[in-house]
Amino acid sequence: MLNPVLKFEGKVQSQDQTRFDASKSFITKGDTALTAITIKPGDDGSAVSIFDADPANWFLDWVWEGFKIDVDALKNKIKFVSNGVTYTATITVGTYTLPALQLEILTQLNLASSVVWALALSLKNEYLLTASERVTLKSSDLDASLLPFIGFNFSAELTDTSFQGSTIDALPRNVTLTLDNGTPVGQVFTQKVFSPEGDALFSSDADLVVHEPQILDWVSVGRNSFIDAHRRSQEKIMQFIDQNGYLSNMGKRINKFQLLDLEDVRLWSVYMTLHHLFISFQNSKDDVLKDKSKYYEALMISARNQAVLVIDFNNNGKAEPEERVTTWSGSVRMR
């Protein structure tokens, strides 16, 4: 029996190096030896041979070009209800840019029923879907819905004539690992790929180098940056904001795009990233790295406590005086 096993990052940014590691793949004892192993990044990609006598070399270093989505049978449906009848628009399986997907969605929606649809794509990668009559749009990945992957991630269903999607910050890309010993066995894995604008990270490697000029020498094998560490810091900062009671005027969680002035947040993110990196660099014999992690932790806490956040609570894209808050005055804002 052939057992494809792939180690990879769940999230990565386009243009950032990532590694697909198949070295833990194996065959059941007594089965025919492997003769080929390939990895195909993206449904529109070509299979790359990674077979080698040494399993440690069963990997592929990769960089995703552009911002695309792999639409497969697990996420190619858009369901809606008109006049009590449920219709399904089936998107053709394939790899799409957002403008190309816009045209395909519009084509299939208008073929599905007599409802006339329009679909616009903003510069912020937000889809606006409108219908000629009031319809109920169903959003659930349990029925192979495409909607949650393209910014329409509401809980179950929504009834209206217009549906505004959120910014599409990342898109799913499929990675197919195939083992072959005369009878090929393949398995598809999915990686979430961010656009640089969609990732909207609060700090960068250039910020780290200001404090630690040699730090890029510590980048992990299979990577060429610390973008993953900056993203982890961003997630922790957003978690802190959420846990401290900051909500939009509509009672929803604040998202990363609602932080309008990132100067104070940048310092917080820089020190947090350095703190966590030096924790990861530590070994039992090196107190210098341990001391550095503690040093940057203190700076991180100081930067967090002094930070003034400019949060777009009303989501109008403008920084207003009442939207300046501190990280120590946690308040719940609802209207």
Averaged pLDDT in 10-residue chunks for the chain of 335 residues: 96 97 93 94 97 96 97 95 95 98 98 97 96 89 87 84 96 98 95 97 97 96 97 96 77 86 91 95 77 95 90 74 63 40
Gap between the Cα atoms of 250 and 243, Å rounded: 17
Residues with Cβ within 8 Å of residue 162, at least 6 apart in sequence: 128, 129, 130, 131
Q: What is the CATH number of domain 2-66+172-197?
A: 2.60.40.10
Position 333 scores a pLDDT of: 43
What strand order describes the sheet that includes 185-194?
11-13, 185-194, 170-180, 36-41, 48-49
Gap between the Cα atoms of 214 and 27, Å rounded: 42
Q: What is the pTM of this model?
A: 0.90
Residues with Cβ within 8 Å of residue 60, at least 6 apart in sequence: 19, 20, 39, 41, 48, 50
Position 166 scores a pLDDT of: 93
Confirm if 256 and 269 have CB atoms less than 8 A apart: no
Kindly state the helix (H) or strand (E) to which residue 266 belongs, with its residue range: helix 263-281
Position 231 scores a pLDDT of: 98
Position 233 scores a pLDDT of: 98
Position 175 scores a pLDDT of: 98
Gap between the Cα atoms of 253 and 150, Å rounded: 19
β-sheet bridge partners, residue 68: 97
Gap between the Cα atoms of 257 and 237, Å rounded: 13
Position 322 scores a pLDDT of: 60
Gap between the Cα atoms of 185 and 32, Å rounded: 13
Tokens describing residue 84: 């009590």
Position 307 scores a pLDDT of: 87
Confirm if 244 and 327 have CB atoms less than 8 A apart: yes
- The number of angstroms, rounded, from the C-alpha of 2 to the middle of its chain's C-alpha atoms is 30
